[in-house]
Structure 1
Amino acid sequence: MTELLDLDEGLDPLGDLDSGDSQTATKNRAKVGSARPSSLLYTYGPGATMDLPSFTIMPAGLDTWEKIWARRGSVPTVPAPRLLDAVKVHLGPQVSELRPFPWAPKPTSHSKEGDDLGVPARVFPQWLRCTNCDMLAPLTRYAYRNTNPYRPDQARFEHEKCPGRKGKISKKPMPAVPARYLLACPDGHLDEFPYDWWVHEGAQCTEANIPSLAMHDQALGKGASATIECRACGLKRPMNQAQGEAGAAKIPRCRGRHPHLGLFDKDGCPNATKLMLLGASNLWFPATLSIIVMPEATAKTHETIAAELLKVVGQKRVEKYGNNLEKWREYLDEEESPLFDLPDDELAAAIAHLLEPPPSEEELAEQRRNFDPVSLLVPEWNFLQRDPLGKLHKADEQSGLVLSPPEGGIHPDLVDRHVTRVMAIDKLRKVNAVLGFTRIDEMERANDIGQRLVRLTRSGHPTWTVATEDRGEGIYLQLDEEEVATWEAKIESTDLWEAHRAAHERNFNARFSDTAKDVGPETRFRPARYWLIHTLAHVLIREMAMYAGYSAASLSERIYAWKENKEENRPAAAGLLIVTTASDSDGTLGGLVQLSSRVNLERAMSRALERALRCSSDPVCAHRTPKEPEEFLHGAACHTCAMASETSCERANRFLDRRFLVDLPGSVGLGFFS
């Protein structure tokens, strides 16, 4: 995924690419790096800071991406109506489509294909420090170098005629690196640290209007260890004074800046700021939704058809044509739109949806509050309850789903362990969409998505959002509902379960944002069956990685574990899907599908449960139970025995306990598989 460079406030994302072959070797180029689509979705999306070899950039908001797509005759979309409907709940009904990242594969390394595409980005932070003389200054004081079209990793900022620390002018330019301090607030604003203001303690320099600053940093990697010096008046001030609760009172309040959008909130921001280090893990948390595309979910709804109609005819014609179906047909025929072939009843229903008054902000907020992420899993669970039509069942072309039962049925030993359904997912398509992001608190912690979710566009009402399309394979495994319900009722009456519940409440109250205190902790606590199936998924991932040909980090889980909800007519679920997906391949190696066979799966599950009996950290791990004031959200589970990488786990290694899988010393009778 090509990154493009911005060196001015206008943010021309195409840079000097417009000059094409006429570029000379001395001209600066716009391309500065690359990243995989998955990393741009989960790690380096709009508003995040992305480290390049010599400086740091920030992918820009979606408004700027329109300039990229304008270079192409048409804009590709990612078909996923069910996911699009869920995105509309959070971002508004005006969202009409999901788009991939602006990227195209190159047939050869020297090919020009895709040179007109890329993700626009800004240089951020824009305060740099010379590595030779410690000069601290905005990037306008440095020279930009990026001359090799095939080595964008060599893009850099340099200090020309650097005097060094001893005043001797250097014969060659010295590299500059980003100054690594930032200010962030809980509402997602991010700003440069005001070094001039800091060293002069909010006053003006007595010797110069624009003083020369220096950053002396001798202990890299040890927090705020630098000292800022004004070379004009000689004042010095260490950065560690800005840390902690005492330091919070010394730094300025938030200015409401969104650097990825190039703007400040017009109403400002009342929040206090927090000192952040560049690259801190809590600087950017993505808010995403994902689905496994199922056949019945590929059918277009009235809402999605209405969105396509609006895109074709525009809002003015919607008001002009009203309910006049003949005028709609006439215009669609002139435009040669495929929507012309829709039956009258479907077209009329979509038009009626377009003519409905838009929901109010209160109605949208209510939709967001009532949104249940489980609703994205229910269609997948329902489809996986169906028996395949044959040995290899290809569901349909659009979903890309291909599944098959194990040859010879389920192994008797798995049946004895209450496994009722096994399915090999030979091919699947997973679609992931970006909603926005949060800072300091991840989205689940904030829980007030309407207020805390940082917008991706200047208006806050995007008409599209970014999505990735992954393809891969997997194994589906389902447990007997009656046995799970009986076990669950027993577990939820134990002292261990009460200890987990109390720890979760303490954790919730201690770590959730102040604006989310009206949310009940019990709404985020997972039932015992979730702990069971989640822990089983982790031990299976660790075991399957030894035989499937994939690393454990490339395997991920999808947990279907909820109690019956009669109000929503939703039956109970107890199953798991272990998948491996990739954005740049159609299907994968087949290692997981091979493990789903009758004998292989029984062996993998038996060994996984056997390994769960022991941990090198036992007996400490086996007896771990949270007690006040402890608030950890796992029991007998650690990185040695049951925890997985962050790419594998959907719950950040929370809600795990080996005692719910197998009987461990001191907790006999709790294990489902014992």
Structure 2
Amino acid sequence: MKSFRRNKRVASKKQFPEGTINLSQSINTFGIGSMLEVQSQKRKQTRTTSAIVSGLDFWRADNLENIPEPDLCRLLNVEELKSPPSGESADYIPAKRFPRWLECSSCHYLGVIGSQFNEEVDGIPSCSSSACNGWGVPTRLISVCYSPNHSEGHSTSDYHIDDFPWVYWAHKNHEKCSSARIRLKSDGKKTGLDGLVLKCDCGAENTLRGALAADALKNIPCRGNSPWLNAQQSCDKKTRALLRGASNVYFPVTASTISIPPNSSRLVQTLQSLKYKEITAMYLNGKFSSGTVAEMLHDKIAFSSFEKRNNC
């Protein structure tokens, strides 16, 4: 599992790829399930890779600040809201490498870590080809499932994302070999995807022309892959290829509310942050006297900080 940081802090001995985003980006542009660029340092050289933000199950919820917004909680049917990590001492927001398929910067062979590439302690995958000093670069294509008919009523959680089927595409017009080893080469004549050719060591080859067409992957079933959750589920939707950095790969689903006193007042927010419901329950169970509870609240709440505001 890789991770990126909300804010910079002192690096540990084992360095992971890292990126920096602001608080608003962590719930919009780079929310859960989105992809972003992260960087690693090796021999004073910067290497860029791609990661997908992991689901909340992988976050350290004990380090997240509580947001007291009862109205928004009722709207979303949740018990509480948490803020993403912020500040100089912020913890990591977890993420994992995606896409899994990489292209060597030198020999241009494609593969995954464990076969074509070796994972280094600094997060930079090195090519395992003999006498090759290249490193792994995220491949430019990914695949997603979609519904041609948007009125089918699928929720946003019903869609999936996966690696582009590189081996299938290289052998699309040939018989698939038993041990495919493919690389991406330019034909030297055209630009863009039309000028890129996938070649397998068995002799099969195919240009990337038409790979982004809606029906280009019609023979490839969706595997129901949700890499941000480390999960798979059955899916019968069609798949298509997209550019990794395309704007239509990820759409955040957001909700908002207006904070109106007294729920938005500092006093209420402070009481909620102290879990006053738990204190009340303890009092009702006879564990605290009313005087002890009052003293506890008085010690934990700097009432003097409210005096100036209340006198305005």
Do they fold alike, i.e. is TM over 0.5? yes
Question: Contact between 1:103 and 1:118, CA under 8 Å: does it hold in 2?
Answer: no
Q: For residue 329 of structure 1, what is the amino acid of its counterpart?
A: L
Q: State the alpha-carbon separation in 2 of the partners of residues 326 and 178 from structure 1.
A: 53
Q: 1:283 to 1:203 in 2, by over 3 A?
A: same
Residue from 70, 84, 88 that aligns with 1:101: 84
Q: State the alpha-carbon separation in 2 of the partners of residues 134 and 284 from structure 1.
A: 28
Matched, 1:222 2:192: yes
Which residue number corresponds to residue 605 of structure 1? Answer: none
3-state SS of paired residue (1:37)? coil
Q: State the alpha-carbon separation in 1 of the partners of residues 93 and 187 from structure 2.
A: 35
Which residue number corresponds to residue 59 of structure 1? Answer: 53
Q: State the alpha-carbon separation in 1 of the partners of residues 191 and 285 from structure 2.
A: 66
Q: 1:31 to 1:276 in 2, by over 3 A?
A: closer
Question: Contact between 1:228 and 1:237, CA under 8 Å: does it hold in 2?
Answer: yes
3-state SS of paired residue (2:52)? strand
Alignment of 1:226-241 (within 5 A): 226-231=196-201, 233-241=202-210
Alignment of 1:455-604 (within 5 A): none
Alignment of 1:598-617 (within 5 A): none
Which residue number corresponds to residue 231 of structure 2? Answer: 263
Q: State the alpha-carbon separation in 1 of the partners of residues 15 and 113 from structure 2.
A: 17
Residue from 260, 283, 295 that aligns with 1:294: 260
Q: 1:185 to 1:326 in 2, by over 3 A?
A: closer
Matched, 1:195 2:166: yes
CA deviation map 1:374-431 (0-9, x unaligned):
xxxxxxxxxxxxxxxxxxxxxx97xx9xxxxxxxxxxxxxxxxxxxxxxxxxxxxxxx
Which residue number corresponds to residue 130 of structure 1? Answer: 104
Q: 1:327 to 1:77 in 2, by over 3 A?
A: closer
Q: 1:248 to 1:194 in 2, by over 3 A?
A: closer
3-state SS of paired residue (1:32)? coil
Higher relative contact order (CA 8 A, sep 6+): 2
Alignment of 1:13-32 (within 5 A): 23=13, 28-30=14-16, 32=18
Q: State the alpha-carbon separation in 2 of the partners of residues 192 and 327 from structure 1.
A: 52
1:197: Cα distance to partner?
A: 2.5
Q: 1:277 to 1:217 in 2, by over 3 A?
A: farther
Q: State the alpha-carbon separation in 1 of the partners of residues 212 and 281 from structure 2.
A: 67
Question: Contact between 2:283 and 2:293, CA under 8 Å: does it hold in 1?
Answer: no
1:333: Cα distance to partner?
A: 4.0
Q: State the alpha-carbon separation in 2 of the partners of residues 125 and 332 from structure 1.
A: 54
Indicate the RMSD between aligned Cα atoms, in angstroms. 3.9
Q: State the alpha-carbon separation in 1 of the partners of residues 140 and 191 from structure 2.
A: 10
Question: Contact between 2:215 and 2:240, CA under 8 Å: does it hold in 1?
Answer: no
* Number of equivalenced pairs: 266
CA deviation map 1:296-348 (0-9, x unaligned):
443799xxx8xx699x59xxxxxxxxxxx9988117749x989x99xxxxxxx
Question: Contact between 1:55 and 1:157, CA under 8 Å: does it hold in 2?
Answer: no
Question: Contact between 2:23 and 2:86, CA under 8 Å: does it hold in 1?
Answer: no
3-state SS of paired residue (1:34)? coil
Which residue number corresponds to residue 145 of structure 2? Answer: 185
Question: Contact between 1:215 and 1:226, CA under 8 Å: does it hold in 2?
Answer: yes
Which residue number corresponds to residue 285 of structure 1? Answer: 251
Q: State the alpha-carbon separation in 2 of the partners of residues 337 and 285 from structure 1.
A: 46
Question: Contact between 1:224 and 1:243, CA under 8 Å: does it hold in 2?
Answer: no
Which residue number corresponds to residue 83 of structure 1? Answer: 72
Which residue number corresponds to residue 654 of structure 1? Answer: none
Q: State the alpha-carbon separation in 1 of the partners of residues 117 and 293 from structure 2.
A: 52
1:190: Cα distance to partner?
A: 0.5
3-state SS of paired residue (1:29)? coil
Q: State the alpha-carbon separation in 2 of the partners of residues 102 and 254 from structure 1.
A: 34
Matched, 1:158 2:126: yes
3-state SS of paired residue (2:229)? coil
Q: Which has the higher strand share?
A: 2
CA deviation map 1:535-577 (0-9, x unaligned):
xxxxxxxxxxxxxxxxxxxxxxxxxxxxxxxxxxxxxxxxxxx
Which residue number corresponds to residue 175 of structure 1? Answer: 135
Question: Contact between 1:82 and 1:298, CA under 8 Å: does it hold in 2?
Answer: no
Which residue number corresponds to residue 275 of structure 1? Answer: 241
Q: 1:326 to 1:37 in 2, by over 3 A?
A: closer
Q: 1:34 to 1:217 in 2, by over 3 A?
A: farther
1:31: Cα distance to partner?
A: 5.0
Residue from 113, 121, 133 that aligns with 2:95: 121
Q: For residue 32 of structure 1, what is the amino acid of its counterpart?
A: E
Matched, 1:44 2:30: yes
Q: State the alpha-carbon separation in 2 of the partners of residues 326 and 292 from structure 1.
A: 30
1:32: Cα distance to partner?
A: 2.0
Question: Contact between 1:102 and 1:118, CA under 8 Å: does it hold in 2?
Answer: yes
3-state SS of paired residue (2:285)? helix
Q: State the alpha-carbon separation in 1 of the partners of residues 239 and 245 from structure 2.
A: 17
Q: Could you tell me which runs of 5 or more consecutive residues in structure 1 were left unpaired when the two chains were aligned.
A: 7-12, 15-19, 89-94, 106-112, 148-154, 164-168, 314-324, 342-395, 401-674
**TM-score where L is the length of structure 1:** 0.35
Which residue number corresponds to residue 244 of structure 1? Answer: 213
Q: State the alpha-carbon separation in 2 of the partners of residues 202 and 138 from structure 1.
A: 23
3-state SS of paired residue (1:273)? strand
CA deviation map 1:464-504 (0-9, x unaligned):
xxxxxxxxxxxxxxxxxxxxxxxxxxxxxxxxxxxxxxxxx
Q: State the alpha-carbon separation in 2 of the partners of residues 118 and 297 from structure 1.
A: 30
Q: State the alpha-carbon separation in 2 of the partners of residues 331 and 227 from structure 1.
A: 75
CA deviation map 1:645-669 (0-9, x unaligned):
xxxxxxxxxxxxxxxxxxxxxxxxx
Q: State the alpha-carbon separation in 1 of the partners of residues 100 and 113 from structure 2.
A: 5
Q: For residue 65 of structure 2, what is the amino acid of its counterpart?
A: P
Alignment of 1:313-324 (within 5 A): none
Which residue number corresponds to residue 118 of structure 2? Answer: 143
Q: 1:263 to 1:224 in 2, by over 3 A?
A: farther
Q: 1:253 to 1:294 in 2, by over 3 A?
A: same
Which residue number corresponds to residue 511 of structure 1? Answer: none
Alignment of 1:430-449 (within 5 A): none
Identity %: 22
Q: For residue 330 of structure 1, what is the amino acid of its counterpart?
A: N
Q: Could you tell me which runs of 5 or more consecutive residues in structure 2 were left unpaired when the two chains were aligned.
A: 6-10, 40-47, 147-157, 298-304
Q: 1:252 to 1:83 in 2, by over 3 A?
A: same
Which residue number corresponds to residue 2 of structure 2? Answer: 5
Specify the structure having the higher radius of gyration (Cα): 1
Residue from 175, 179, 201 that aligns with 1:210: 179
Q: For residue 294 of structure 1, what is the amino acid of its counterpart?
A: I
Question: Contact between 1:157 and 1:175, CA under 8 Å: does it hold in 2?
Answer: yes
